[in-house]
Amino acid sequence: MSWNERVETLRLPNGLTLHYQYYPEDVSSVVLLYRAGSAYERSGRTGVAHILEHLMFNGSRNYGPFSLYIDAWGGQDNAFTDRDITVYHTVVPTSRVADVLRLEADRMRNLLFAHFEAEKRVILEEYLLSENEDDERLWTEIFAHLWPDSPYSHPVSGWPEDVRNLTLKDVRDFYDRLYRPNNALLTVVSRLPLEKVLGEVENSFGNLEPYEEIRHPNHGMPTYRWFKRSVVRANRPKRFIVAFRLPQPSLRYNTAINVLTRVLDLERSSPLWPLIESGKMEMFNVRNYEYAGGNVLVIVGEVAPTRSPPVEDILAILESMPVDTPAVGRVKRMFKSEFVFSYEEVESVGINVALTAYLFGRVPTLSESLSLYDSITAEDLQAVKRDIISSPVVVAAYENP
């Protein structure tokens, strides 16, 4: 099985971008990514992107509910909405790829918007449930303060009052503006020849009209450093999040971020581990979230009831830690193994191709990706570290009333 075949990228006259990756098994992945996340919502109309994701499964002009077909064909499907994008991903036997493309094209422009009020109630119930999760209110505070100048500042699911007041016209307007071929990336991972896939894509999507003016949100990075702390009063474990707003993604820069993030997350090998040994923290994990407007590196921790989050200690460790330790080589090997294993699942391949193409504009081959991890130097990691210690920082923490 060779994974060094490049992802082929083609563009239809109506603006739809197709990414094709050969996959040797008799199962295929179809991923349709729209630049239509919550950041594209208008003030007072938050939650539109998420409710539209739900409505996309309730039937279009020429077909019934989407998942009924996928289930009948022995496949699986799902979707997710984030700040930049909404993504629909499907896995089916290869013989059904053309059928999935027809379904996707029909719901791109012929959605019925069935069960609108019922889906609003589901969204509001989801919001109430998420508020009971340990970190959800902290994440709301983080994004509200870390991106005050950006449409990233409101929750992906929308503010409850906005969702209650949404009308069907609000959703139709969002759909008509953004669910267009020139605002979508289509990924097909399949053993079908590229010529066959392209023909089916042209048959299904070729006659769909683009939208003339699609304005993408602007998220300028501040040129100064600032620090904000937000306290949420709640009877919860004393959890906290320290978040850093980093520059916009590029392939090499984000590979370096991934390496440094994993080094920080390595438990006993982590520079943060002494805070566990000293009792200043009880647990922690470190993650980086990639957005078109910038990266968000977060440290999520928990402290004993009598302690406060050791924010100053964390910042001091980040400023003084070396970036050329043996842990770096270990982390590179971990990422390379994980990357290779991810190619065993066609769904993972499809989603990875779609997200990589969206964020970075191109998809490297497997061998190029492995070489990229090997090529990351101490200078690359030092550049990320400099950005971390000079970036805007927000801390959100639970305090018991």
d(CA 362, CA 351): 14
* pTM of the predicted model as reported, rounded to 2 decimal places: 0.94
Write the secondary structure of 222-277 as one string of H (helix), E (strand) and C (coil).
CCCCCEEEEEEECCCCCEEEEEEEECCCCHHHHHHHHHHHHHHCCHHHCCCHHHHH
Query: Which domains are seen in the chain, by residue range?
Result: 8-205 (3.30.830.10), 227-399 (3.30.830.10)
For the chain of 401 residues, list the mean pLDDT of each consecutive stretch of 10: 74 98 96 97 95 98 98 98 98 99 98 96 83 74 88 92 97 97 98 98 98 77 74 78 92 97 96 98 97 95 92 96 95 94 93 97 92 97 96 86 62
The token pair that represents 278 in the structure block: 């000293």
Identify the pLDDT of residue 1.
43
Nearest to 96 by CA among 65, 63, 71: 71
Q: What one-letter code names the amino acid at 89?
A: H
Q: Distances from the Cα of 53 to the Cαs of 37, 175, 223, 335, 350, in angstroms?
A: 10, 10, 36, 32, 19
Identify the pLDDT of residue 256.
98
Q: What one-letter code names the amino acid at 364?
A: P
Measure the N-to-C terminal CA separation of the chain; round to a whole number of Å. Answer: 59
Identify the pLDDT of residue 401.
62
Identify the pLDDT of residue 134.
57
Burial degree of 147 (CB within 10 A; 0-12, 13-18, 19+): buried
